[in-house]
Structures are given as structure tokens and as C-alpha cells.
Structure 1
Amino acid sequence: MSAVWIVMLVVGAASLAFRLLPIVAVERIGLSPRTANGLRHAGSGAVAALAALAILGPGSLRPNPAVLVAVAVGGFLAWRGWSMTRVVLAGGAAYALVAVATALL
């Protein structure tokens, strides 16, 4: 067995352990209600942070109008309960329309 395969197996085992350890630890130790409540909202906070960074863009405090409209359309449709495929397609279409409109102006 070559060294590459050994390294791949070790990295794969370490990755599995890194992902599995929190799940096993939470089952054995348990979570306080405050921690469980905080973790319940962690995903929404992460998505909001990613959306804010996407809207502002790298090194700018002025939002890109196309990204702003795409995030608004996608967020509204997700809030209305549309499927993820439709949300992504509608957000992409809104981005394309606004990007073309701003390029033509």
C-alpha cells in the first residue's frame, strides 16, 4: 500500500471522527435548554451572515443591486414555502434581469 493511500485513509478517518464526535458527545452529555435554543437558531444566523456578505460584496459597503434583488426575491419565495429549486431559479433569473438592466443603463 503506497503512502498516498495511507494518508487518504488517515485523513478520512480523522474527518469522520471530527464529524461524529459532537453527535456522540451531545447524546451522552446532553445540552442545556439555553444551548439547545441557541443551536436551533444557528443555521438561520449563518445563512443571514452569508446573505449579508453576498449583498455587500468584497471590500465594499455599497450593495450590488442585482445581488440585493436576487436575495430579496429568493428570501421572499423561501418564506412563502416554495421549493429550493424554484427559489434558486427565481433568484438567478432576478439577478440576470437586474444585471442586464444595469449594464444597459
Structure 2
Amino acid sequence: MPMTVIVTRDVPQRTRGFLASVMPEPAPGVYTSGEVSKGVRERIWTVMQDWYGATHEGSIVMIWRDDKAPGGLGVATLGAPPRQLTDLDGVLVSVW
């Protein structure tokens, strides 16, 4: 099971409370776990999408290992600015 990291900015306390209930929060707004399965990660993201869609407050970025994505990292974002990873001649860069 690959490591998953979620970074939040200016999200409602409800969102932070939910994430803290399923993942440790080693720094304010940063949640991480080395043992989140793909199914659990997808369920967490579904909750984040539903809640974000109702409020459009803040931003959320989730990063996980994905061997099929550029640089081996999957990225999902809610809020502005949306980001994606691109391999630029062997260097992984973030674009939006």
C-alpha cells in the first residue's frame, strides 16, 4: 500500500476533523499515511469532493504513488489553482 499525503489550505473545520480521524496530521493541514489502500484513498477523496462541492472553500491536494503517472506520483486537486505533474525531459514539474 503506497503512502498518501493530503495538504489542505483554508478548509472548513469539518474537513480537517474528518481527515484527522482517518490519517495522522504531522503538521497543520498536512495529513499522511503509509498504509492507505486504493479503496480507502478513493473513499476519502469522494468525501472531500462532496464536501468541497457544497462549499467551495479552500483547497485540497492529494498525492499518492501511481506507477502509471508521470514521476510515479498521482495528484488530485480541489480548489485553485489545480495542478498536474508533467515529466519534462526527466524532471518532474508541477503545472497549472
**TM-score under structure 1 normalisation?**
0.28
Higher relative contact order, structure no. (Cα contacts within 8 Å, ≥ 6 residues apart): 2
Structure richer in strand, relative to its length: 2
Structure richer in helix, relative to its length: 1
**TM-score under structure 2 normalisation?**
0.30
Larger radius of gyration: 1
